Amino acid sequence: MNRLKLATFIFIAATVNAVNAEQDRVGGTLGYGEYGRPATIDPITSNDMIALRLTELIFNGLVGINEKQEIVPDLAEKWEVDKEGKNYTFYLRKNAKWHPKGADEPQPFTAEDVVFTFKIMAHPKTITPLKVRYEFIDTVEKIDNYTVKFVLKRPILNALAKFTFKIIPKHGPNNTNYLTREDPFVQRPIGTGPYMLKEVTANQEVVLIANPNYFGAKANIAQFVAKPFADQNIMMQALTFNAIDMIVTVNPRNLPELQGDKRFVLQPYNALSYAFFGYNVRNPMLNDARVRKAFTLAINRDEMLKSFFNGQGTVISGPFAPGSWAYNLDVKPQPFDKAKAAELLKEAGFQAGSDGILEKGGKKLALTLKVPIEKENEAVKRVVLAFKNYLKSVGADVQVSFMEWQAWKESIFAQHDFDIIFASWVFDDSADISSLFHSAEIGAWKNNFGGYTSPEVDGLIVESKLTLDHEKRRTIYRKLHEVLADEAPYTFLWTLTNYSAYHKKVRHVSIHPYKFFPYASSWFISGDESKI
């Protein structure tokens, strides 16, 4: 009898402790540092990683991809694909609601929202980097309120994985035909995701709060705050002085300091990304591939990587993210060769002027390099100043302009007012580079900002989209890599090993390689520090 009472008591105590532990997981605010601020926060017009990370918290796709890289239900509970691989029918969940718009009650998510999203995304007047990626879809049709059918123009490889694109509400944008960057929705979006936008503060902090009506497992952390920084040193100070709890990407020069601080966890993640110098080929001096190749040969990328990033990365040769299946390992990075660079510039018709600067047709080889940061960022400042000095040694005069992030984006993507930029791309696992180098992607707010055109590259990109054979696509991509390495619309630099740093009070952190936040609903802030 006594044993039975004792067993019963232990079971009840364990249950109470489990409930308390579960309650302790809920609440708190996580402030995280971002290097810059997003221009827009919707998933259609935005084209920067800061916005992509936010849209992962605010929106959902028809399907998702879990930590094992398996396709899983999201807004669609199930789906059917016909034998030809052209008809995709999605059966939508009936318990998803949109975040409230203003003082309105949350509206239900339906098939009309899916149809609306695709049509507005495909509209010619909607400026989005997504358009080229979904050109394989022919039509979308609402079957009933919770069933939608997509008909493809042709079967494609891994089509289901592409239906992760985020769905926006029909009642969201003011203009229901096409979406512009002037629409209020792009700054105050509403989604179906685990977090919803509360406000953007006067300091441009983006404040998200947990969605109480979320159809899935409710988020543990009550509030996420994205805090923009123009300088990585100040962001690092904010972390060490507890002004923020997390940095998405740590400056490699700060890693030793963080490794010695027991308050923080350093977590590596292998983003599919690389840094580059991109050229505006609208400038006649840069339209000659020999000039662009000379610039690549003139800089010592190995030395820059070692000196400025503690060697924590790999020099690359071409347009695909290293580590992806599409990267052509047989194409080696061009070695540092100042003599060969000078020879190519001479072949291109340049001769040294009286001041040592190369000239052609009476015009000096004088170029502007625009960089989207403030001067205080030491690592990037050193990279671009080293680039300037390397090019000076072969007779090119480069003037560096450090610009505020938003002004830089306007100058590069909208006005195309630049000669060279320093930037980086982060990729998903589709290895689709069509928006970067296809001639159809030249225009305002499109990703082929440099105006690069090549009939051969266009043809290879189109061919890669038409094949259903994965190995054939790999072969096409290997050729694309080879051609673009030779054409050099970019000087491809390196991929870095990324590290996130966060306070040890933040638990159960799992980071997605390029979207970062897809698993953030299960993160929590431990113990008493979670109380708000």
CB 232 within 8 A of CB 377: yes
Greater pLDDT, 193 or 230: 193
Q: Which residues pair with 246 in a beta bridge?
A: 32, 502
Residue 48: pLDDT band (50, 70, 90) is confident
Q: Residue 138: how many CB atoms within 10 A of its CB? A: 11
Residue 15: pLDDT band (50, 70, 90) is very low
Q: Two tokens at 39? A: 């221009």
pLDDT, position 532 = 39
- Which residue shows structure tokens 């402790």? 17
Burial of 301 (0-12, 13-18, 19+ CB in 10 A): buried
| Mean pLDDT in residue range 178-203 | 96
Question: First-to-last CA distance in the chain?
Answer: 45
Q: How many percent of the chain have pLDDT more than 90?
A: 70
pLDDT, position 11 = 36
pLDDT, position 469 = 83
CB 42 within 8 A of CB 176: no
Spatial separation of the C-alpha atoms in residues 525 and 23, rounded to whole Å = 11
Residue 4: pLDDT band (50, 70, 90) is very low
pLDDT, position 275 = 94
Q: Say which range, 18-32, 259-273, 313-327, has the weakest mean pLDDT.
A: 18-32
| Mean pLDDT in residue range 250-258 | 87
pLDDT, position 429 = 63
- Which residue shows structure tokens 């030793």? 256
Residue 8: pLDDT band (50, 70, 90) is very low
Spatial separation of the C-alpha atoms in residues 487 and 460, rounded to whole Å = 14
| Mean pLDDT in residue range 221-233 | 93
| Mean pLDDT in residue range 454-477 | 91
- The pLDDT mean for the chain works out to 90
pLDDT, position 1 = 38
pLDDT, position 470 = 82
Q: Say which range, 359-363, 407-411, 429-433, has the weakest mean pLDDT.
A: 429-433
pLDDT, position 230 = 85
Query: Does the pLDDT value for residue 411 go beyond 70?
Result: yes
What phi and psi, each to the nearest 5 degrees, are found at residue 184?
A: -55, -25
Spatial separation of the C-alpha atoms in residues 76 and 64, rounded to whole Å = 9
Q: Say which range, 2-11, 34-43, 89-98, 398-407, has the weakest mean pLDDT.
A: 2-11
Spatial separation of the C-alpha atoms in residues 529 and 430, rounded to whole Å = 40
pLDDT, position 380 = 86
Q: Say which range, 158-172, 277-291, 427-441, has the weakest mean pLDDT.
A: 427-441
Which own/partner contact pairs does 339-345 have at CB distance under 8 Å and 24+ positions apart? 340/294, 340/297, 341/294, 341/295, 341/297, 341/298, 341/394, 342/294, 342/394, 342/395, 344/290, 344/291, 344/293, 344/294, 344/297, 345/290, 345/291, 345/294, 345/394, 345/395, 345/396
CB 24 within 8 A of CB 530: yes
Spatial separation of the C-alpha atoms in residues 501 and 30, rounded to whole Å = 13
- Which sign, positive or negative, has the C-alpha torsion 464, 469, 472, 478? positive
pLDDT, position 247 = 96
Spatial separation of the C-alpha atoms in residues 184 and 483, rounded to whole Å = 42
What are the counts of helices (DSSP H) followed by strands (DSSP E) for the chain? 13, 25
Spatial separation of the C-alpha atoms in residues 404 and 230, rounded to whole Å = 8
pLDDT, position 531 = 40
Query: Does the pLDDT value for residue 10 go beyond 70?
Result: no
What phi and psi, each to the nearest 5 degrees, are found at residue 363?
A: -115, 135
Spatial separation of the C-alpha atoms in residues 290 and 498, rounded to whole Å = 33
Whole-model pTM: value is 0.72
Residue 23: pLDDT band (50, 70, 90) is low
| Mean pLDDT in residue range 477-485 | 97
Spatial separation of the C-alpha atoms in residues 418 and 288, rounded to whole Å = 17
| Mean pLDDT in residue range 102-127 | 94
| Mean pLDDT in residue range 356-369 | 96
pLDDT, position 22 = 52
| Cα-based distances in Å from 489 to 197, 280, 356 | 38, 8, 26
Residue 131: pLDDT band (50, 70, 90) is confident
